[in-house]
Structure 1
Amino acid sequence: MPEAMLEIRDLHAYYGESHVLHGVTLSVPAGEVVTLLGRNGAGKTTTLRSIMGIVPRAEGSIRLQGKELLGLAPFRIGRLGIGFVPEERGIFASLDVEENLMLPPQVQPGGLSVAEIFELFPNLKERLRSQGTRLSGGEQQMLAIARILRTGARLLLLDEPTEGLAPVIIQQIGRVIRTLKEKGFTVLLVEQNFRFAATLADRHYVMEDGQVVDMIPNDQLAARMDQLHERLGV
């Protein structure tokens, strides 16, 4: 396995009295696409939110290239080079595409230029002056991903990027993720669409009840489909 960019060890997370993550351990190697698979409520989104420091309470260890993240403020975690695209996308409705795109600060050198972003997402160039409220769901998702590529983040956390989107948009997002991997980005992807994830990922972590219960390298998927069907109900 290549050197890990992200290492999570024995992670526990809580919302009030609810103990949501129960000792999650996983590794995201640099330059790979890694998926978190699992039914609704398995703890996938909470894992991403824990990495970003936006759960009320977390214990254990989350290390980015050896640096401990637990206990850091969310804005400090972002400045270390992690970009988070939440499931709700977070597009500012009153701002147009260009204003949304330029809003986040650059946190590291090496972010994509606006020209490179428009190569990845030509739709956004056409909609540059459109307000966030006028974008389709697919265009909002593209903008949410594009926005963090400018910042210089090298680890991308994508929460359900294909949810509710048309097949042609899902294909486009798949092409973008492959291109980003070729450019050296590392991606941790939460995805309900298992067939989409299978075309992209190097390895899959399966979560149940707030725990990682399996890790399947992509080249072993075919041999372990029965297990996955059972665990995921797909």
Structure 2
Amino acid sequence: MPETKTATRPAAGAGGAQVLSVKDLQAWYGESHILHGINFHVKEGEVVTLLGRNGAGKTTTLKSVMGIIGKRSGSVQFNGKEISRASSDSIARLGVAFCPEERGIFASLDVRENLLLPPIVSSGGLSLDQIFELFPNLKDRLNSQGTKLSGGEQQMLAIARILRTGARFLMLDEPTEGLAPVIIQQIGHTIARLKKEGFTILLVEQNFRFASTVADRYYVVEHGKVIDGFANSELEANMDKLHTYLGV
């Protein structure tokens, strides 16, 4: 087993200001202690990926940042503002958007209704025409109920919906899980384009081969802690460690 450490390297991607800073983040589900002092940061314009095995605490980290986990402690700062005790709705109104693994679309509503439903938190949200440029499939399915969409179309809709809000900091939880390769490729193109347009993205992803096509930096999460981190340019040199960490 390789020696583990908490990453302290500077960002290799965008050189912008620090948007998110997480320090000693602890979280519980009832009596179960899930996060044991998570530390990481994300800079403006970066795509940062949390890697780790199932149950490592990656999704709990996103939910804790978003204020969805009720019992949590430590520091979470967004654009210099402490949000660790803020409610999820107030965090969303600061410009943080969360796309959960289960997608969370309204199955009884059609695509148009799903897209028009989210509240606008700031100016700059994508128009329907811009959404359809990113995801042409959604335009073809505009009047289809959520239950009639394929898994890939549901994922597109889930991402499209948060892009309508005007949020510029996106947290995407396992966006490629269970999707066909052609859809995964489309999701990758979308993330790359969003980064080019100035969005900042925190990504949870099991598929590090996919993550390598979009990420600037990686943090490895194990047993509720960040145990390693490196830049995308260092990925090849860290492949042996990654195979050990992820069990692949």
Task: Provide the TM-score with structure 2 as the length reference.
Answer: 0.93
Any idea what the Cα deviations from partners look like across 1:169-188, whole Å, max 9, x if unmatched? 00000000000000000000
Which whole-Å CA distance do the structure 1 matches of 2:159 and 2:172 have between them? 8
Which whole-Å CA distance do the structure 2 matches of 1:66 and 1:82 have between them? 14
Which whole-Å CA distance do the structure 1 matches of 2:77 and 2:195 have between them? 21
Query: Which residue is 1:200 aligned to?
Result: 214
Alignment length, in residue pairs? 234
Instruction: Give 3-state SS (helix, strand or coil) of 1:87's partner.
Output: coil
Query: Which residue is 1:209 aligned to?
Result: 223
Matched, 1:112 2:146: no
Any idea what the Cα deviations from partners look like across 1:87-117, whole Å, max 9, x if unmatched? 0001111100000011101001111111111
Instruction: Give 3-state SS (helix, strand or coil) of 2:237's partner.
Output: helix
Query: In the TM superposition, what is the alpha-carbon distance from 1:70 to its structure 2 partner?
Result: 1.1
Matched, 1:185 2:180: no
Query: Which residue is 1:60 aligned to?
Result: 74
Query: In the TM superposition, what is the alpha-carbon distance from 1:56 to its structure 2 partner?
Result: 2.0
Out of 208, 215, 233, the position equivalent to 1:219 is 233
Which whole-Å CA distance do the structure 2 matches of 1:97 and 1:114 have between them? 11
List runs of 5+ in structure 1 lacking aligned partners. Answer: none
Which whole-Å CA distance do the structure 2 matches of 1:212 and 1:120 have between them? 33
Query: Which residue is 2:154 aligned to?
Result: 140
Query: Which residue is 1:74 aligned to?
Result: 88
Out of 24, 33, 37, the position equivalent to 1:23 is 37
Query: In the TM superposition, what is the alpha-carbon distance from 1:224 to its structure 2 partner?
Result: 1.1
List runs of 5+ in structure 2 lacking aligned partners. Answer: 1-10
Q: Give the 4+ runs in structure 1 shifted more than 4 A.
A: none
Which whole-Å CA distance do the structure 2 matches of 1:93 and 1:109 have between them? 27
Q: Percent identity?
A: 67
Residue type of the partner of 1:231? Y
Matched, 1:41 2:41: no
